[in-house]
Amino acid sequence: MPVPDPVALTQALIRCRSVTPADDGALAALEAALAPLGFRCERMRFEAPGTAPIDNLYARIGTGGPHLCFAGHTDVVPPGDESRWRFPPFEGRIEEGRIWGRGACDMKSAVAAFAAAAGRFIAERGSAFGGSISLLITGDEEAEAINGTVKVLQALASRGETIDACIVGEPSSSETVGDTMKIGRRGSLTGRLTVRGAQGHVAYPHKADNPLPRLVRMLAALSPGGPEAPGPEIDGGSTHFDPSTLAVTTIDVGNPATNVIPAEGRAVFNIRFNDTWTADSLGAWLRDRFDAVGGDYTLDLRHGADSFLTAPGELTGRVAGAVERVTGRRPAFSTSGGTSDARFVKDHAPVVELGLVNATIHKTDENVPVEEIETLTRIYRAVIEDSFPERG
């Protein structure tokens, strides 16, 4: 049985120019590593109006429970100006003890590490280990995330397949592999605020209705401290979450004339919210503050994700114990950072995120130490072993 080498498989995946939504052979390279191990590999293709069709790979060995799933993605963000890279971003070069390339950190190495960990486990225990192991790999995480993990999970549920526990291989670590494990994430809500007035000449402001002072007051009203103590935090946090934060990302008027009062002004902001809020309660909070300022406005809200928490318990303890056994350190539990596909998994199974150090994600010269890929492989294998203990 050919067991995948995690570093060689990482290189093979990096050499696929899978800039979302392109695949460029990445799923085929992974399938070629998994099929000889006994995984049943299934391509799941989804599309929706206005979005690119996406191929996903669902590979499973075993039919019964417990069912441990690894979720991840092989799509990557664009490399930007490739001339600024030290080495070509899709070469997968190993230099100075590191593997360089787009996706090395986020998150082709983790996908390869889990495939290798599963291979080592199956080579030792065989395919009758008392449960199921699967990989749910999408090519639609870095963009819309519409035709990927969420639809694969829905398809599995519709045919009666259940997942008992899931690890998402996003780069969760801060300084060393395994020092941090994500047990939840904040939610995301984007607001588009339009404040309307009446256009007029600046010399006759009483004959116009300038919307911009109201726009400024509305934005200032979103800070709990008000104009005297502005800040991004909108609450005090909770047991497992930092304070929710609000960031204004753009203010637009589109008025090139210095002698014209504009008819409207627009602003866009994003809130990353903890478990003390829902999208609905945040919407009500926003409208209360905007109504207090008054005037003609509209607020469009886009709900990107809910906050969620996998409460410390059996899964978090199992993964933390595996990390400690391999590294000698117990990971800190965290809910910081942006969103990931774990936000879809949490509706189907307990989920945690554990992966490499996130120092170079989305950067020019993205890279990871080769030895850390091996460390992550050993951690994943320890999790698998603890999920399927030998029965004496």
pLDDT, tens only, 128-146 = 999 999 999 999 999 889 9
Q: Give the model confidence (pLDDT) of 25-53 as tens digits.
A: 999 999 999 999 999 999 999 999 999 99
73 annotated as ligand-binding: yes
Same domain, residue pair 355 and 264: no
User: Which residue range is the domain that position 316 belongs to?
Assistant: 6-185+307-387
Q: Residue 271: exposed, middle, or buried by beta-carbon count in 10 A (0-12, 13-18, 19+)?
A: buried
Q: Which residues does the annotation mark as catalytic?
A: 75, 141
Q: Output the pLDDT for position 391.
A: 77
**Res. 101: pLDDT tops 60:** yes
Same domain, residue pair 222 and 176: no
Q: Which of 38-52, 214-228, 266-280, 330-344 shows the lowest per-residue confidence on average (mean pLDDT)? A: 214-228
pLDDT band at 226 (very low <50, low <70, confident <90, very high): low
Q: What is the CA radius of gyration of the chain?
A: 24
- pTM of this prediction? 0.88
pLDDT band at 392 (very low <50, low <70, confident <90, very high): low
142 annotated as ligand-binding: yes
Establish if 106 belongs to a structural domain.
Answer: yes
206 annotated as ligand-binding: no
Phi, psi of 141 (to 5 degrees): -105, -35
Q: Output the pLDDT for position 337.
A: 82
Select from 272, 305, 338 the last residue of a domain: 305
Same domain, residue pair 216 and 313: no
Average pLDDT of the chain, as a whole number: 95
67 annotated as ligand-binding: no
From CA 298, how far away is CA 37, in angstroms rounded? 56
**Res. 182: pLDDT tops 90:** yes
Token pair belonging to 10: 């990482």
Token pair belonging to 151: 């639809």
Token pair belonging to 2: 């050919």
Same domain, residue pair 147 and 59: yes
